[in-house]
Each structure stands twice: as C-alpha cells, then as structure tokens.
A and B are shown apart, each in its own frame.
Chain A
Amino acid sequence: MTKDRIEMKRRDFLLGSAAGVVTAASAVSQAGCSKPFVPEEPHRYIDPAACIGCGDCVSLCPMGAIHLVEETSSIDPDECAECGVCSRSRICPADAIHPGKLAWPRTIREAFSNPLVVHEATGVRGRGSEGIKTNDVTDRYPRGSLGVFIELGRPALGTRFVDVERVVKKFTAHGHTLVSDNPVAGLINDPARGTLMPEVLKEKAISVLVEFILPESAVSALHTLLDELAAEVETVFSVGIALRAEPDGASRIEDLFGGEVFRLPNGKVNLGLAQDIAAKGA
C-alpha cells in the first residue's frame, strides 16, 4: 500500500468519525461500548473492516505475529502469545485491535506473557517465586543448595509448553521436582513423571520460568542435564543460578562450576538487610 493511500484511508477514517459517517466499529466505540462489532474471536485479533493498513502495529509484536498483507493487518493466533503489547501501546489509529475472549487452555498464554494479568489459569500469582529477592528472610536457598532457574523462550523467541514439559520431565526423571510455588506446577498432570496437561502443550508464551532447588553435590549432573536439554528444545533457555554467599560475602560460583563456565559479568545480589529483622520478628 502506498503512503498516499494509507494517508487517504487514515483521513477517511478520521473524517468519517468526525462527520458521523461512521463505521460500525467506531459507532460501537463512540457509544461507549468496548465490544467490537465483529463476532468475538477466541484470541486477540484485528478487525479487518476497521484496520486502515498503516502497519504501525507490526513491528511492536515481540513474537512477530502481526502481518500486513494487502493493506490489512492480521494477527496469527498460533504465534500470538497474548502479551497485550499491541493493545496497550494504543498505537492503532483505528482502534482495530481487540483482545478477543480467551478460554482455557489459551488463557495460559496471557497468564504467562502479560505481566499485568494474574495467574488465575494456574492458581499461582506472578511468574515464579520471590527467588533470591527475599532469601534473607525466607532462607529458600540455604548454604549447600543451588537454586536453578531455567527460563524458556528468553530471550526473543518465545516457547511452546511442550519444551517446558521437556525440562520438567528431565529434571523429574533425575529426582529433582519443580518447586511447588511455580506457576507451571499447576499444569502438571503426573507429578511422578513431570508431564503437563496434554491440552497445554501447543500453547505459546513469551517466556516460562521453571525453578528447581538442588543440592550443591548435583552440579556435575546439572551440567549433563543442561547439555541434553540444549540439544532437545526447539527454543532457547536462559540459565540462572541462585547461591547463598559465603560468610565473608563471596560467591562460590567459580568453585562450583569451574572457571571456564560461561557466565555474564552481571547479575543480582541480595544485600541481607532484612535478615536479622525478620528473625527478630519471627
């Protein structure tokens, strides 16, 4: 579509709304009703009658799920992770992007990908535990243990739950169960095998974080597990390791994993400022 034609359509749209010669969609929105005029879809969608083909929304989608074809944009429902970025951006001049009416199991896309949505689908709030953030109070990772975080789909690619199942199954087979306060725990149908409900496997999320707590002695087994998983998954995963500091404040990461292991020069440190307060109040 040429720039001129887009401008023409944009102008028509604006003039149409202003003059009362409105499309059905704008009539509905002017009446103060948020319902689109087209039948509600079971996923986020673009109303083709309202879209003016400006293409402004296309580059915003972190999953590359929006495509502009012949002057109209559409969302590929299979690739969309229901993160809500396109809608929240309010970039669409025609108000053509609609949230749709999601039903199970699609709701888990939104629960895992939209940070403003509570995890009702899994019964657990947030994307994971408080992790190291409150370890000075919870002592979730005492000395001698490792918190292992595997974040599937991060960065940039997104993940299907079939890959999440691969990770949970592998760790479960080696005797390491997923922590119970992780949202994925609500999707497991066989805890002994670490399998997920079959209906969620094809669902997609921008990222899914799973967490295991292992004894320090499991480090070499962990190397093997991660190597095997790296070869099996269809996406990427970021690996994080939580470690209680030594009494002098140092980290044992190098002692445990060896100097050659790749690791980023940045990370997070809990400063322990709440430690004695929580202990006193307990």
Chain B
Amino acid sequence: MSHTSQRRGLDPATPGEEIIVLAMIPKQHREDEGIRDAMKALAQKMIAHKPHQWLSHNFIALDIPQLGSKQTLLRWLHRVRPEATRDMLFKAVAEKSSVLTAIYTREEDACGLLRDLKGFWLEENRRKGTPISIVLSGLFGDIDKCCRQTGIRPHTYLHSLGVRGRVDRLPNEGKLELVTMCGHGLIAGQRVQLLAERVEKGEITAEQAAEDVARPCVCGIVNQERAARIFKRLAVSPSRSFPGARAAAPPYGTSAG
C-alpha cells in the first residue's frame, strides 16, 4: 500500500469511509523466532473484525512463488469455497509475507481491531520479543479518533503535499479518485472512463464496475465500496469535479501548477 497516502477524494465531511490497516515485520526481524505465529494471529484478528476487503479477489490467480505448493491446493479449493479460501489464503500469506493489509469501511470495526490488538496480541509480542509495526491509512480525523478511543499515541506521520508538475495533463478529479486507489498506478484512466459510461448506460451496475476496476490491483487495497459510490457519481456527470474531491489536485505554492 506504499501510497495510500496519495489517495484522492477522502473528505473530512464524510468520515469513516475507509481505514486501511497495514502490518509489517521490520526487515531485521523477518527471521525472528515466533514472528510468523504473531503474523498468523494478526491475520486471524484482522479477519475477525470484518474487513470490507483483504487480498484482491483475483489473488488466487496470481503467481506468488513464495506460496509454493500451497497455492495449487488453495486454487483447487477455491473452486469449491471461494470465500473460505480467501481466509485461508490470507493466513498462508501471513506465514510467508512480511506485510498484511485489510480495508475497514466502518470506523467501529477498525477501532475494534486496534482495541483487540492492544490486548493479548501485543502482550504476547512483548513477551516473545516479536515486533510487528502497525500503520493506519485514511483521514487523519478518523485515525485520531481511533487512537483516542484506544489510548494509542501516533508515532510517525506521512502527509501528502499533493501533486506538482504537469498537472494540466492529469485526468479529471473524479477519475483520479479511482485511479489513485491503486498505489502501484495499475488502474487505467481509460478503463475508468469506459466503465463509467457503461454504468451510465445501465449496462453494468456501479458495483460491477468497482469490481472490474479493482482487478489490476495485486495488493487488494482498492476500496470497492467507495469505488462503487464514485462510479455512481461519475455516471451522473463524468467530467464533474466532486465536492469531496477537494480542489482538483492543486499543488501547494504557485509555480507550474
């Protein structure tokens, strides 16, 4: 999720639309004894607090060499029980990967997870000496609320100062809201356009468009619930800049804007 901090369209006027929880094992601790168990326990808790999204829907189809033969087995199981397989895959990823992410679209679920983590899970990590860093991504107001509720004090911030340079070449703000949902930049502006037009014509639903647009994302970090809402707005007025979008990608300062 390296750049969820550059997402467009989150608006303090509509809080709680998304809080992304990212967990990472610091590089120098990846081989620590017990760290994989701590990740597995974390994966279980992340799922228990009802994330809207964890892993991309097409994750099963990707070639993840680290999963080895487990991937073949899970692919086979996936045909029978797709949803359950996503849980299993998430846990398999937790065993191998140093990163886990999940999207929450209800503030109480994200805060509930944090409250939960602060208890036994953190105590166990302390006891065993297994450090796993936890990062929240979303509106600072939402994060602050969760921190206050759980008595957690922020350690480090990552702020976005927006976009600079040839902003005249950028697609409109509505499209940017969807395009920036993939931190690796794999969502195409013209795909967004095409899907918005199809929603407008009634050929597909906004939810189907949201599922389609999320497909290139390999991290499973696209918030499909918010994407569907954006598609509904785009379908009404494709070139409109939305109130929630904040001024269309203004750089700070004055030059080359």
Contacts and interface: CB of A to CB of B under 8 A. Distances in A.
Contacts, number: 316
A133 B161 contact: no
Contact of B157 (A60, A88, A153, A251): A251
A128 B158 contact: no
Given A134-B27, A154-B6, A265 B155 contact: no
B257 interface: yes
Contacts of A131: 2, 158
B188 A59 contact: yes
A133 B253 contact: no
Interface string A202-240: 000011010000000000000100111111011111111
Interface in B34-72: 61-64
Interface residues of B, number: 89
Contacts of B252: 257, 260-263
Interface residues of A, number: 86
Given A62-B185, A265-B10, A136 B157 contact: no
A132 B218 CA distance: 22
Contacts of A231: 255-256
A230 B253 contact: yes
Contacts of B130: 277, 281
Contact of B135 (A62, A138, A268): A268
A264 B166 CA distance: 19
A61 B126 contact: no
A190 B254 CA distance: 32
A52 interface: no
B232 interface: no
Contact of B184 (A58, A115, A149, A253): A115
B180 interface: yes
Given A130-B27, A156-B171, A233-B166, 20 more contacts: A62-B216, A88-B62, A130-B24, A132-B135, A138-B26, A155-B163, A209-B2, A231-B256, A239-B163, A241-B158, A241-B160, A262-B250, A263-B162, A266-B160, A267-B158, A268-B135, A271-B134, A272-B154, A272-B156, A281-B130
Interface of A: 58-64, 83, 85, 88-90, 113, 115-116, 127-128, 130-138, 141, 147, 149, 151, 153-158, 206-207, 209, 223, 226-231, 233-245, 248-251, 253, 257, 260-278, 280-281
